[in-house]
Amino acid sequence: MRSILIAALATLATATAQAACIYPRAPEQLPDGNTASYDEMVAAQQAVRQFNEDITAYNTCLDLEMKSFEESGLYDEARLTELRAMQAKKNNSAVDEVEAIVSRFNEQLRAFKVRDKK
């Protein structure tokens, strides 16, 4: 009975960990640096920073989720290897998206600064 309870709790912990890692929403739109106001650029910068922080938290959650999988005893090494590969893809995809958004924002920021100097 006790081992069934422990297995049930481990399964619940694993399911909870899976449900907890919610991919954050990227900023919907970045302003055009050629026409944006200062306030719009500041708001966009804050949104990009927040998204970066959210992705960092998401990736931390993925790490904790993987640790939960490893410690649960529910998976053999072959399955853990598959799960690690999936987690790595999720992590890499998230990092790639942040880098792309930061790059697009920086392009618009450069355009804003050039326009502002004129």
pLDDT tens by residue, 9-39: 555 554 444 557 999 999 999 999 999 999 9
Return the pLDDT at 117. 78
Task: Work out the mean pLDDT of the chain and round it to a whole number.
Answer: 88
* Residue span of the structural domain in which 69 resides: 2-117
User: Which has the higher per-residue pLDDT, 105 or 2?
Assistant: 105
List of residues 6+ apart from 57 with CB closer than 8 A? 24
Rounded-to-integer distance, Cα 44 and Cα 38, Å: 10
Q: Given pLDDT bands bounded at 50, 70 and 90, which one contains residue 6? A: low
pTM listed for this prediction: 0.77
Rounded-to-integer distance, Cα 46 and Cα 48, Å: 5
Return the pLDDT at 16. 47
Region 55-67: mean pLDDT is 95
Return the pLDDT at 2. 59
Answer yes or no: are the C-beta atoms of 114 and 32 closer than 8 Å.
no
Domain tally for the chain? 1
Q: Given pLDDT bands bounded at 50, 70 and 90, which one contains residue 1? A: low
Find the largest Cα–Cα distance for the chain.
Answer: 76
